[in-house]
Structure 1
Amino acid sequence: MLKLGYKASAEQFGPSELLRYGVLAEQNGFNSVFTSDHLQPWRHDGGHAPAALPWLGALGASTERIILGTSVLTPTYRYHPGVIAQAFATLGCLYPGRVVLGVGSGEAMNEKPLGIEWPEQKERFARLKESVELIQTLWTQERVDYQGTYYSVERATIYDRPETPVPIYIAGAGPAATRLAGRVAQGWITTSGKGRELYVDTLIPALEDGIGKAGRADADVDRLLEVKVSFDHDRQKALEATQFWGALALKPEEKTGVEDPVEMQRLADALPVERTASRFIVSTDVEEHVARIREYVDMGFTHLVFHAPGPDQERFLKLYGDEVLPALRQLG
């Protein structure tokens, strides 16, 4: 069955407001709620960065059925992997079968403000791979001695663990991390709005290569896509809503080395609305909207998490729940 989720934008809303939206997502028929774990938002003015771990605990206590997780958290710098193993085991005990740990290799803007030296991509990927191995080991073995290249534990035990380990989803925008997700994770996370060729010629083949090399079945790995949508009956409002998230439309060369939300905001605000809207499916018509999303379903994505950029998330959740989700369910 196709799963339909809501992206709770921690970079845009404070913890209490965001919690209300997570509850409304469940009430309006969404299957999951995912949030990012940013120390710094994408912009300074109007930006937010509530911590994901306590917020997920509050969301679990405030809801009954939705899947809740991170998209994504970096278990390599601000957190030791052992701390993340403990935290998500606890969440898994509190909300059995409802918790997902989504992980990625991180962004400098979230780590460097704490004085962490930011290494090259090769090391970041190696750290991510090792941290996932350590977390899975701590969840499945009683007493763990582990000596890796970057992390080690000695006679470590996670005493409170759910009967079924929390699934780990690995975020991948390139073939290496995507292949790793296919080999060792229960899910793969990537984002929409890029050229079709990237998905069908590079990423999905890498995922399937990882699945095949591990001797797994396709159904063993959930394919989660963050779909950036701006849906409104007023097209101009739908376009203007994307401006808060202008940083997403910056080219890599435009934002390389930028770790300050103030500077990121300055660069994003200089973009015309046509650029900021380029990463989103901007639509006023349900049939057109669903047709564009169907392209991703046809590629094989099984879990769509919708990120709406506008300030009125309550209106989005009601509108999407009433008009778009019923049509999307027919695709599943």
Structure 2
Amino acid sequence: MAQWGYTMMTEQAGPRQLVEDVVRAEQAGFDFSVSSDHYFPWLDAQGHSPYAWSVLGAAAHATSRIPLMTFVTCPTFRYHPAVVAQKAATLHLLSGGRFRLGLGAGENLNEHVVGAGWPPVDVRHEMLQEAVDIIRALLRGGYVNHRGPHFDVESAKLWDVPDEPPPIGIAASGPRSCELAGRLGDLLVATEPEAGLVRDFERHGGAGKPRVGQLPVSYDPDRDTAIARAHEQFRWFGGGWKVNSELPGPASFAAATAYVRPEDVAESVPCGDDVDEFTARLRPFAEAGFTEIALVQIGGDQQRPFLDWAEKTLLPALREL
């Protein structure tokens, strides 16, 4: 049976609200939670982007049961992998072992801010692999020295290390990243309900490991309102990773999606309050072999109505999938 998660979408709410919302998600019965980790929102209409790791630390203190996870952190540009390892170890300790570290090759949208340029995808995958090796070495304890093609680590040591390191998830969208995820990761992270991603992941060492998917939804008693909100804030979602990872800022995402219509968004994002529509859109993830699916309720001011509805109506229906 699939598990169902709640997304702290840092691009559409401020830090205090994000923590309050995940507390309510825990109360509503969600099985796990994830958090985005951005420097920019995709579109100006979303309006936020607080520091995800501070939010996660506060969430770890404010909750008691629900697992936490980055979905996902790029450990290669804004953050050096040695710093990511320290953050992950600390959060795992704060949460009492409830944290999982989701990693990915990143998006230009967030990583350009440090002025390091944006290399082609094959180089970004090389950097991700090297970063994962460094993070795992530090989480094992002891001093780490590393001289690599992309990173140097000089006599680094984590002084607060959990007995068991947090599991590491790797984001994948194609054969190369699935190979990395299967070989390097403890779980797969993806946003497309494609059985081929799961098969590639399993073929490269991921057999038996969790597979975590994610889908945006737009709950509202009025379907037209839900569609309008999804179009305003999430029309970028259909661009796909190959496009989205290259765009440098919200203005670029706005230009790239200028001709996306509300009805186009409604074809991929369940909108309204029809439980059958929501379950029909989420079912492909379960059928593709994903063991966990996180929901993103679109609209920062719509989290509480969604969570109330999810507790009473949506989650019981999803348990039947």
TM-score norm. by structure 2 comes to 0.92
Paired with 1:317 and 1:139, the residues of 2 have a C-alpha distance of: 35
Alignment-derived partner of residue 239 in structure 1: 227
SS at match of 2:159: coil
**SS of corresponding position for 1:191:** coil
The alpha-carbon distance between structure 1 residues 156 and 23, as it changes in their structure 2 partners (threshold 3 A), is same
Deviations 1:72-98 (A, max 9, x none): 110001111000101110111111221
Gaps spanning 5+ residues in structure 1: where?
Answer: none
Q: Tell me, yes or no, if the aligned pair for 2:109 and 2:246 is still in contact at 8 Å.
A: no
Alignment-mate amino acid for residue 164 of structure 1: E
Instruction: Confirm or deny that 1:324 pairs with 2:293.
Output: no
Q: Is the 8 A contact 2:170 2:187 kept in 1?
A: yes
Distance, in Å, in 2 between the alignment partners of 1:308 and 1:165 is 30
Instruction: State the partner residue of 1:226.
Output: 214
CA RMSD of aligned residues (A): 2.1
2:270 to 262, 281, 297: 281
Q: Does 1:300 align with 2:289?
A: yes
1:180: how far off?
A: 1.5
Deviation string 1:67-120 (CA, Å, 9 cap, x unpaired) is 111101100011110001011101111112210111100111111133121100
Contact 1:72 1:104 (C-alpha < 8 Å) held by counterparts: yes
Matched, 1:146 2:146: yes
CA contact (8 A) 2:198 2:290 kept: no
Percentage of pairs with the same residue: 35
Cα 1:291–1:109 shift into 2, 3 Å: closer
- 2:160 is aligned with 1:205: no
Please say if residues 70 and 103 of structure 1, whose CA atoms lie closer than 8 Å, have aligned partners that are also in contact: yes
Query: Normalising by structure 1, what TM-score?
Result: 0.89
Q: 2:238 aligns with which of 245, 249, 264?
A: 249
Counterparts of 2:67 and 2:113, CA distance in 1? 31
Moved over 4 A (4+): 251-257
**Would you say 1:290 and 2:284 are equivalent positions?**
no
In the alignment, the residues of structure 1 paired with residue 253 and residue 2 of structure 2 have an alpha-carbon distance, to the nearest angstrom, of 35
CA 1:252–1:227 in structure 2 vs 1: closer, same or farther (change >3 Å)? Answer: closer
Give the SS at the match of 1:66: coil
Q: For the Cα contact (< 8 Å) 2:19–2:59, is it kept in 1?
A: yes
Q: Is the 8 A contact 1:34 1:305 kept in 2?
A: yes
Q: Distance in 1 between matches of 2:85 and 2:303?
A: 32
8 A contact 1:176–1:206 mirrored in 2: no
State whether residues 96 and 162 of structure 1, in contact with CA within 8 Å, keep that contact through their aligned partners in structure 2.
no
Partner of 1:19: 19
Q: Which amino acid aligns with 1:227?
A: L
Counterpart of 2:270, as a letter, is I
Between 202-211 and 68-77, report the one with greater CA deviation.
202-211
Q: Using a 3 Å threshold, how does the CA distance of structure 1 residues 253 and 62 change in structure 2: closer, same or farther? A: closer
Larger CA deviation: 143-152 vs 101-110? 143-152
Equivalent residue, structure 2, for 1:169:
169
Aligned-partner residue type, residue 43 of structure 1: L
CA deviation after TM superposition for structure 1 residue 20, in Å:
1.6
Cα 1:257–1:107 shift into 2, 3 Å: closer
- Identify the residue that residue 36 of structure 1 maps to in structure 2: 36
Residues in 2 aligned to 1:251 and 1:273: alpha-carbon distance in whole angstroms: 17
Give SS of 2:190's match: strand
SS state of the match for residue 293, structure 2? strand
Distance 1:305 1:238 in 2: 19
Among 292, 295, 305, the alignment partner of 1:315 is 305
Unaligned ranges ≥5, structure 2: none
Amino acid at match of 1:12: Q
Query: How many Å separate the matches in 2 of 1:273 and 1:37?
Result: 27
Q: In 2 relative to 1, CA 162–40 (structure 1 residues): closer, same or farther, beyond 3 Å? A: same
